[in-house]
């Protein structure tokens, strides 16, 4: 094989460095809260984003939310697609870089697999024990007839949108679509109907 030239190395860094917590940074964390109306039985989803060029501000906002409202792992679940292998470890590593205390639900060091039941991973749930399988959220949404969260940008374009366009709000919209798609996918897993537009509320970006 031929050695990589400087241009190719720079290109690879732009394309892939952000997926490593040692090189990337977080400019947006979007979260969704699902509640069931006691009177009607209908679900409602509230989606909120913490988005800013200042990574510490993003992490602090997210941490404050978790600590204040969702700190009890026996009462609340955190759901996401590949969150056990990517999102949660990435957030934790970036918080350590900033010397921030991890919220109780994310203090995972030394825990056994059965002690992390508060983390619901939609990719893991789809594996059915097949450890080598990796199935993207985009593929699963297409399979289950869920509107794609990638109708504007996808994960590979986030770095460009941030560095070249400084459009944090656009990144937040992309992340929020991911949250909605993940909730819809989880409902499909549970044989429940998809949420209608009137069951979803988007809260202003912090």
- Domain segments of the chain as ranges: 6-202
Q: Is residue 79 scored above 80 in pLDDT?
A: yes
What local confidence, expressed as pLDDT, does residue 171 receive? 86
Asked whether the beta carbons of 88 and 116 are under 8 A apart, the reply is: no
Question: Residue 205 pLDDT > 80, yes or no?
Answer: no
b/e 18-47 (16+ beta carbons within 10 angstroms → b): beebeebbbbbbbbbbbeeeeeeeebebeb
| % of the chain with per-residue pLDDT over 90 | 68
Share of the chain above pLDDT 70, in %: 87
Q: What is the pLDDT of residue 190?
A: 97
pLDDT at residue 180 above 90? yes
pLDDT computed for residue 8 by the predictor: 61
- Decide if pLDDT at 5 tops 70: no
Does the pLDDT of residue 165 top 90, yes or no? Answer: no
Architecture of domain 6-202: 2-Layer Sandwich (3.30)
Residue 24 in contact with residue 97, Cβ under 8 Å? no
pLDDT over 70 at 2, yes or no: no
Asked if the model's pLDDT at residue 81 lies above 90, the reply is yes
pLDDT of 17 > 80? The answer is: no
């Amino acid at each position: 094989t031929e050695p990589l030239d400087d241009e190719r190395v720079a290109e690879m860094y732009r394309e892939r460095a952000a997926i490593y917590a040692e090189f990337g940074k977080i400019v947006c964390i979007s979260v969704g809260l699902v509640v069931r109306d006691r009177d009607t039985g209908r679900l409602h989803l509230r989606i909120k984003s913490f988005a800013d060029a200042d990574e510490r501000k993003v992490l602090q906002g997210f941490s404050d939310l978790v600590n204040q409202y969702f700190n009890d792992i026996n009462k609340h679940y955190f759901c996401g697609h590949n969150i056990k292998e990517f999102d949660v470890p990435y957030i934790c590593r970036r918080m350590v870089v900033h010397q921030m205390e991890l919220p109780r639900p994310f203090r995972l060091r030394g825990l056994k697999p059965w002690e992390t039941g508060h983390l619901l991973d939609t990719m893991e749930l789809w594996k059915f024990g097949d450890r080598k399988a990796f199935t993207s959220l985009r593929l699963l949404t297409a399979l289950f007839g869920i509107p794609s969260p990638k109708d504007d940008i996808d994960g590979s374009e986030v770095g460009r949108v941030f560095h070249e366009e400084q459009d944090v709000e656009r990144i937040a919209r992309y992340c929020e679509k991911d949250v909605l798609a993940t909730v819809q996918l989880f409902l499909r897993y549970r044989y429940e109907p998809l949420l209608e537009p009137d069951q979803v509320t988007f809260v202003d970006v912090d």
